[in-house]
Amino acid sequence: MTRFSAPIAEQIWDMKYRFKDADGTPIDDTVEDTWRRIASSLASVEKDPKAWEDKFYSALEDFKYLPAGRITAGAGTARSVTLFNCFVMGTVPDDMGGIFDMLKEAALTMQQGGGIGYDFSTIRPKGAAVKGVAADASGPLSFMDVWDAMCRTIMSAGSRRGAMMATMRCDHPDILDFITAKSDPARLRMFNMSVLVTDPFMEAVKSGGAWDLVFDGKTYGNVQARELWDQIMQSTYDYAEPGVIFIDRINQMNNLNYCEIIAATNPCGEQPLPPYGACLLGSINLARLVSDPFEAEAALDEEALNDLVATAVRMMDNVVDASKFPLEAQAQEAAAKRRIGLGVTGLADALLMMGLRYGSEEAARQTDRWMHAIARAAYLASVNLAAEKGAFPLFDADKFLASGAMQDMDEDVKEAIREHGIRNALLTSIAPTGTISLYAGNVSSGIEPVFAYAYTRKVLQKDGSRTEEEVVDYAVQMWRDLKGDAPLPDYFVNAQTLAPLDHVRMQAAAQKWIDSSISKTINCPEDISFEAFKEVYMEAWDTGCKGCTTYRPNDVTGSVLSVSEEKPADEAPAQVTVDGDGAEVVYMSEPLDRPQELDGATYKLKWPDSEHAIYITVNDLVVAGHRRPFEVFINSKNMEHFAWTVALTRMISAVFRRGGDVSFVVEELKAVFDPRGGAWMGGKYVPSILAAIGGVIEKHMIATGFLAGEGMGLKEDPKADVVALNQKPKGQACSSCGSYELRMVEGCMTCASCGYSKCG
């Protein structure tokens, strides 16, 4: 009998977490092997590894404790990958050499699979004088473009693309350019962006005061605070970015405010970190801990919760010693503070099992109680570890206990910390859990509401046929198993029907006991008024949140998928499939077979100043009456080109043979720039020879009907149609599987079909 409660869970495990040889041969035969691999690896640093291995295995078993994806995929594999999820890089110096040193560090970190955050407030504004070169500064936005291009070329561990966060202070002279940067649908697509909002700024917004724009002690301008706030809100209303980070609150509440200053977060915002700060993540699956679900006596087993939290804290603390780090500075920072980020997933499902409506005052009170219990158990577990193994090196009892986050903690916990110290400087965080929640049987993600009770997922088989799978929310499936055809109670609500202020209530309830922060998306209806939209952010500020991220459907990022809720979910599952006209490209579970003969075309590419031409052959396969690219051959007589043309041939062909929407290959190639300079071809500037090859492949795709036109293969297509259910697809296609099932979850575009997440 399989441990997986849904087919999609097993598929996610096989695709993302199952340990395999380089040729794809599985090493983990079962999910039990995966759990054993992780448990053995994290127990290896203990004095009695075998005893702790069994304890760790028990926590992992049946998806009760879910280490973040990088731990699940990397622990015990002996691969050169980091087990840490997120990093904030060093402070960017305000000089050219230092800036590009930071770019190199970012590339090395992303190469090992880490998401990164940067504060660009330290770079002088556009137009400021650059001493010694008689020139004006180009400003931080120009350097963000360089970072964006770098990120496009780095493939993170486990086939995840790198994710980045950019922050800028609300008093930086270029803040207006930062706020509106993503109104250009082709710019800075690799970044999430947030404004660092200070307490004095919010006071000025409330009072209607003026606000100075300052850099390095010099005032560059003056604006009305309320007008600047409205511009931030308008951009977020129109384009879903930037987010807002209440940076003074973060620093005040930080347990380590006596030895660090925070100015940036990881890509999804749940980890505010100092320069070179790193954090690993993991989640308690609350949906697995509710006894007697949907009955009057339903309850969360708090004894089991306390034991599970204590084991999870020990496992995560061991990751600090077991993991590799991209940079030595990151290893030193992690060792000095031993930060961890233990959170939850399945909260909404657990509330449903208890008969509570997500977003209600009672649900918020229950969330507060559960988060308090988790924080208490985590801190006491870390105190016990300190008594056994020692406190984190920078621990100072008086200063630690004086921090804002410790003021609400139970007195007995504070006394235990004073007596024994604490092993981990910070312990709690609520991270995006989109992929691991699918892996755990499609439990609700993080502290988010259920997105949709059920949806249909199409899977393209290698013979060209399509199968359909119903993907059902974990709690809804449990209701069906227990109650049969009984209609769902009225307390079943989802992200489509929930009022935005109910989202804020839940975030604020959880934040009280989270010493780091929370990744959460507040879904807003497209027709929400601008004034009501601004009220969401002000409520987040007034209720103690550390930041706020909303998502309102818009023309640039597209719309989250529309789901039908006219009938109860048990009677009419929300359908998220799409119909014809080229919209049926979906994830391939196995590579396509190569027939004996293929149709194709060969193109001659003459790069200026190159002695020999490059010849590009693209062969197509016909699937369900449509031509799609299957393989590429790139040849040149220039032996300097030999190695990379062979490598490119093999890599592109391998991608094409996996099926799905492979048009992203064109985008990636066309985005590559050559620092030595590009060339003018056909009246257009082409930034590199690789970009020229991408243009040839795109030309072929258009000629065969695979693409509708130039630029139509972009992952972030500003012209994507926004339409209703059972019409053409809404928003952009998933860059991993091609389905039009992307939705905003915890601040990150996530695919409901294959589990791909922009943020990794």
Q: Give the pLDDT of residue 723.
A: 28
Planar angle of CA 694, 706, 623, nearest 5 degrees: 125
Residue 581's domain comprises 577-740
Task: Identify whether 263 is part of a domain.
Answer: no
Taking only the tens place, the pLDDT of each residue in 194-243 is 999 999 999 999 999 999 999 999 999 999 999 999 999 999 999 889 99
Task: Identify whether 102 is part of a domain.
Answer: yes
Domain termination site, one of 192, 220, 247: 247
Strand 243-246 relative to strand 191-197, pairing: parallel
Task: Identify whether 235 is part of a domain.
Answer: yes
CB 429 within 8 A of CB 418: no
Q: Give the pLDDT of residue 562.
A: 41
Q: Give the pLDDT of residue 414.
A: 98
Task: Identify whether 446 is part of a domain.
Answer: no
Q: Give the pLDDT of residue 98.
A: 93
Task: Identify whether 648 is part of a domain.
Answer: yes
Quick one: which of 616, 608, 657 has its CA closest to 633? 616
CB 152 within 8 A of CB 668: yes
Q: Give the pLDDT of residue 736.
A: 54
Please give the backbone phi and psi of residue 243, each rounded to the nearest 5 degrees, phi first: -80, 175
Q: How many C-beta atoms surround the C-beta of residue 604 within 10 A?
A: 9
Task: Identify whether 223 is part of a domain.
Answer: yes
Strand 272-273 relative to strand 550-551, pairing: unpaired
Task: Identify whether 21 is part of a domain.
Answer: no
* Total number of domains constituting the chain: 2
Q: How many C-beta atoms surround the C-beta of residue 183 within 10 A?
A: 12
What's at 640, amino acid-wise?
E
Quick one: which of 708, 286, 368, 402 has its CA closest to 543? 368
Residue 340: enclosing H or E segment and its boundaries? Answer: strand 340-345
Q: Please list the ranges in the chain whose pLDDT falls under 70.
A: 1, 113, 134, 154-162, 458-467, 555-593, 623-625, 659-661, 711-748, 752-760
Domain termination site, one of 209, 225, 247: 247
Quick one: which of 168, 200, 256, 243 has its CA closest to 516? 256
C-alpha torsion 59→62→63→67, nearest 10? 40
Angle, helices 642-657 vs 689-703, to 10°: value is 40
Q: If you compute the radius of gyration of the chain from its CA atoms, what whole number of angstroms results?
A: 26
Q: Give the pLDDT of residue 598.
A: 84
Question: What is the chain's percent helix, strand, coil content, to nearest 5?
Answer: 40, 20, 45
Q: Give the pLDDT of residue 415.
A: 98
Using CA atoms, how far apart are residues 660 and 586, in angstroms rounded to an integer?
5
From residue 25, give the alpha-carbon distance in Å to each of 9, 16, 267, 293, 462: 20, 14, 33, 40, 19
Q: Give the pLDDT of residue 756.
A: 63
**3-class secondary structure per residue, 93-110:** CCCHHHHHHHHHHHHHHH
Pull the structure tokens for residue 90: 């060093």
Buried b (16+ CB within 10 A) or exposed e, 466-487: eeeeebbbbbbbbbbeeeeeee
Using CA atoms, how far apart are residues 17 and 69, in angstroms rounded to an integer?
7
Q: Which residues are catalytic?
A: 266, 268, 270
Task: Identify whether 192 is part of a domain.
Answer: yes
Range list of β-strands (E), 414-560: 454-460, 466-472, 522-523, 547-548, 550-551
Whole-model pTM over 0.85: no
CB 660 within 8 A of CB 737: yes
What's at 671, amino acid-wise?
A
